[in-house]
């Protein structure tokens, strides 16, 4: 038995050496190809880091376990099964099925078969996503292990510490791996990390297993990874492996480390190269130098052959550059269907939203709700998620830490691993601490992965003013959200639409930001409506006529729909017939209905609660100027908030936000033109 174990260990060690050879030769080859202007202009050096990823890959099960490997972890990608041809082709920005097909920079690994979610360039953003993957697999009762790696500089990001906290709260099977080469580009560890090591700092996290190891010591690394994998597989929680590795090359092809490192320092690291150390280790185990040389020669030839193959792969077709911003939904063309002929009980918006969540959680066991204060008796600050924990359990409706980046990053990870998260940001004003995960990660994940991955996430956000909330509870942020490709933006104005749209959002395969005007939650005038049946959904991108008219068109959403509806009859008494259009969704936008209305009225007024400058009304005005200018009989007019934060004092708030009187006055002015 001892001999058998020795042979198995030797085989694994030889496989690790093989991965190191392939990774090192690929590194050297890609540098040459960059200089030859073969298609890429950027190269990231991995020399000295290879053993950590190679050993990690040997400890995991390809196709079962997950790897969110950072851009210097080519050893892991090759070790887990990615081909040399594709790795090199990605460096050359060629059209290949995996690793983004030219959409991302080199070393941003993405391969669904090997469960490598799409990596980004934002340092440390993958930590929370890895935690989300692990949480999803835990909910699905799988024993998958999630590997996530980064450099030492990434531990300065708040997402790293948020990820440790979340993974420990939920005892998730995550292995955090820090490949510490002592520098974050040019910034040394002494300027990055208090105490000189993240391993020392992380000792304050209870329940976290910490391994502070030499990244060039095969036995030490193997023992650390095997122990961490066993812990993760046994649902015992996360581990942190901090592997010290030599900084042999520069940060990237655009970096010159001679500008910030001494010759002696560089030479010292080069003398610690992990490759000869591994070769010497295997000699000690009885492997002949001749056998290793044959392996070395074979790996070199494999890299050379792969480079030729990669260079023959064409570049992506320019016409495909804008493909895959959204994943097409199989229910995009779903039409409203009434299944009950009996009038149902009238509900307000907060009830419609609560019932939509309840019905979708009943419909799909993979729908999970979490966020700040959403669980148990409170059910969110506005009570939208009330009774969901009691009905579906704390595994499907639970509280998150008070950390918006955690909420969105974890939701992203969950969404790519089999769960449909519906998360709540307590107020839209607080989304900014999660904006990196929202804008740089979630919105572009499908695009960056060349459609390999998609993220069915719904982010619910109460927004808007009129109930004296002050600067941090009252802003309207829809224009900024609509500016980000890959996000769908939904804003209901009444209970029936709120229920139908939220149900559609949960079933959509793309990220949806669902904005709920908090002043309309309990509003009965106009906003209350008979409750739609369980089977009713509302397709996105279809605006509706709230009121038909002949003299001018009012395009609005949210609170402004409520206001316009309130003054329609009064304006009719003044001889002005307005046509009110509720957009319901800003992305996608129903421009056709707006144009159709202008053909009849010849005049357009756009009303929104957000600030005037760069508000979404400006985009609508520009589109109409481009597409339907000849239909207009008057200049386009806007009613908006002032370019000012929303203040707390009610008198000041009223002065900043558009009022019914402002809307009515603007309509009179436009009607007289």
Complete DSSP assignment for 525-583? TTT-EEPPPTT----TT--EEEE--SSEEEEE-THHHHHHHHHHHHHHHTT--EEEEE-
Q: What pLDDT sits at residue 333?
A: 46
Q: Which of 480, 508, 530 is the last residue of a domain?
A: 530
Specify whether 85 is located in the same domain as 233.
yes
Q: Of the candidates 408, 508, 521, 413, which has an alpha carbon nearest to the alpha carbon of residue 464?
A: 521
Strands (E), 73-115: none
The pair phi, psi for residue 206, each rounded to 5°, is: -70, 135
Q: What pLDDT sits at residue 222?
A: 98
Residue 632 belongs to a domain: yes
Distance of CA 332 to the CA centre of its chain: 22
Q: What are the residues whose beta carbons fall under 8 Å from the beta carbon of 217, sequence distance 6 or more?
A: 277
Looking up residue 486, the CATH number of its domain turns out to be: 3.40.50.970
Residue 17 belongs to a domain: no
Residue 453, SS3 per DSSP: coil
Strands (E), 245-394: 346-347, 367-371
Looking up residue 552, the CATH number of its domain turns out to be: 3.40.50.920
Q: What pLDDT sits at residue 41?
A: 82
Specify whether 554 is located in the same domain as 516.
no
Q: At what angle do helices 349-363 and 495-507 cross, to 10 degrees?
A: 30
Q: What pLDDT sits at residue 330?
A: 61
Specify whether 369 is located in the same domain as 518.
yes
Specify whether 444 is located in the same domain as 519.
yes
Domain extent at residue 241: 34-316
CA–CA dist 248, 257 (Å, integer): 10
Residue 9 belongs to a domain: no
**Tally of domains in the chain:** 3
Write out pLDDT tens, residues 285-330: 999 999 999 999 999 999 999 999 999 999 999 999 999 999 987 6
Identify the burial level of 351 via C-beta atoms within 10 angstroms of its C-beta, where 0-12 means exposed, 13-18 middle and 19 or more buried.
buried
Specify whether 518 is located in the same domain as 554.
no
Specify whether 297 is located in the same domain as 394.
no
Residue 11 belongs to a domain: no
Longest Cα–Cα distance in the chain: 99
Write out pLDDT tens, residues 68-113: 999 999 999 999 999 999 999 999 999 999 999 999 988 999 999 9
Q: At what angle do helices 274-284 and 289-312 cross, to 10 degrees?
A: 140
Q: Which of 295, 316, 337 is the last residue of a domain?
A: 316
Specify whether 175 is located in the same domain as 263.
yes
Residue 234 belongs to a domain: yes
Residue 336 belongs to a domain: no
Q: What pLDDT sits at residue 343?
A: 58
Specify whether 42 is located in the same domain as 182.
yes
Q: Which of 530, 557, 588 is the last residue of a domain?
A: 530
Report helix, strand and coil shares of the chain as percent, to nearest 5: 45, 15, 40
Residue 20 belongs to a domain: no
Residue 22 belongs to a domain: no
62 conformational bin, left if phi > 0, alpha if psi -120 to 50, beta if neither: beta
Residue 529 near residue 495 (C-beta atoms within 8 A): yes
Residue tagged active-site, from 98, 446, 473, 517: 473
Instruction: Tell me the pTM.
Output: 0.95
Judge whether 517 counts as a catalytic residue: no
CA–CA dist 378, 81 (Å, integer): 47
Specify whether 520 is located in the same domain as 557.
no
Write out pLDDT tens, residues 490-537: 999 999 999 999 999 999 999 999 999 999 999 999 999 999 999 999
* Weakly modelled stretches of the chain, pLDDT under 50: 333, 335-340
């Amino acid at each position: 038995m001892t001999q058998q174990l020795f042979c198995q260990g030797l085989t694994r060690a030889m496989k690790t050496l093989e991965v190191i050879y392939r990774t090192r030769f690929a590194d050297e080859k890609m540098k040459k190809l960059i200089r030859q202007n073969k298609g890429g202009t950027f190269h990231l050096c991995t020399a000295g880091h290879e053993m950590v990823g190679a050993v990690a890959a040997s400890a995991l099960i390809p196709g079962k376990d997950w790897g969110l490997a950072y851009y210097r972890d080519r050893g892991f990608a090759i070790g887990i099964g990615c081909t040399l041809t594709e790795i090199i082709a990605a460096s050359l920005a060629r059209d290949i099925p995996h690793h983004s097909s030219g959409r991302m920079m080199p070393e941003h690994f993405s391969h669904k078969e090997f469960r490598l979610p799409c990596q980004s360039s934002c340092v440390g953003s993958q930590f929370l996503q890895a935690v989300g993957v692990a949480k999803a697999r835990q909910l699905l009762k799988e024993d998958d292990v999630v590997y996530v790696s980064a450099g030492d500089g990434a531990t300065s990001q708040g997402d790293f510490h948020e990820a440790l906290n979340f993974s420990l709260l939920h005892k998730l099977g995550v292995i955090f791996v820090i490949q510490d080469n002592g520098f974050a580009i040019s910034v040394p560890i002494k300027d990055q990390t208090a105490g000189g090591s993240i391993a020392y700092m992380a000792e304050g996290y209870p329940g976290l297993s910490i391994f502070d190891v030499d990244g060039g010591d095969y036995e030490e690394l193997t023992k650390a990874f095997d122990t961490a994998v066993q812990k993760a597989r046994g649902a015992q929680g996360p581990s942190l492996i901090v592997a010290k590795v030599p900084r042999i090359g520069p940060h990237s092809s655009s970096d010159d480390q001679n500008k910030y490192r001494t010759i002696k320092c560089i030479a010292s690291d080069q003398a610690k190269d992990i490759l000869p150390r591994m070769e010497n280790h295997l000699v000690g185990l009885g492997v002949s130098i001749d056998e290793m040389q044959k392996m070395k020669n074979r790996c070199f030839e494999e890299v050379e052959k792969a480079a030729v193959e990669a260079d023959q792969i064409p570049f992506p077709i320019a016409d495909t550059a804008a493909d895959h911003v959204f994943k097409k939904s199989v229910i995009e063309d779903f039409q409203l269907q009434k299944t009950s002929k009996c009038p149902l009980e009238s509900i307000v918006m907060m009830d419609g939203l609560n019932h939509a969540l309840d019905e979708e959680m009943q419909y799909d066991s993979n729908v999970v709700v979490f966020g700040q204060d959403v669980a148990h008796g409170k059910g969110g600050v506005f009570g939208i998620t009330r009774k969901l924990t009691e009905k579906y359990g704390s595994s499907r409706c639970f509280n998150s830490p008070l950390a918006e980046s955690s909420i969105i990053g974890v939701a992203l990870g969950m969404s790519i691993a089999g769960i449909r998260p519906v998360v709540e940001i307590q107020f839209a004003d607080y989304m900014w601490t999660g904006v990196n995960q929202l804008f740089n990660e979630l919105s572009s994940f499908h695009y960056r992965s060349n459609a390999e991955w998609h993220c069915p996430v719904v982010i619910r956000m109460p927004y808007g003013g009129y109930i004296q909330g002050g600067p941090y509870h009252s802003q309207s942020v829809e224009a900024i959200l609509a500016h980000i490709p890959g996000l769908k933006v939904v804003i209901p104005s009444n209970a029936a639409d709120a229920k139908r749209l939220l149900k559609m959002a949960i079933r959509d395969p793309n990220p949806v930001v669902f904005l709920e005007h908090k002043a309309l939650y309990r509003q009965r005038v106009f906003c209350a409506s008979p409750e739609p049946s369980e089977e009713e959904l509302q397709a996105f991108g279809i605006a509706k006529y709230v009121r038909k008219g002949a003299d001018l068109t009012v395009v609005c959403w949210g609170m402004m729909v409520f206001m316009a509806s309130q003054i329609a009859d009064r304006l009719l008494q003044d001889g002005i017939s307005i046509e009110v259009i509720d957009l319901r969704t800003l992305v996608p936008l129903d421009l056709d209905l707006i144009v159709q209305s202008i053909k009849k009225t010849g005049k357009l007024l756009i009303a929104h609660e957000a600030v005037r400058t760069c508000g979404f009304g400006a985009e609508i005005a520009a589109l109409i100027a481009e597409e339907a200018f000849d239909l207009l009989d008057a200049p386009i007019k806007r009613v908006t908030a002032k370019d000012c934060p929303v203040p707390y004092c009610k008198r000041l708030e009223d002065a900043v936000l558009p009022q019914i009187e402002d809307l009515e006055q603007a309509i009179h002015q436009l009607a007289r033109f």
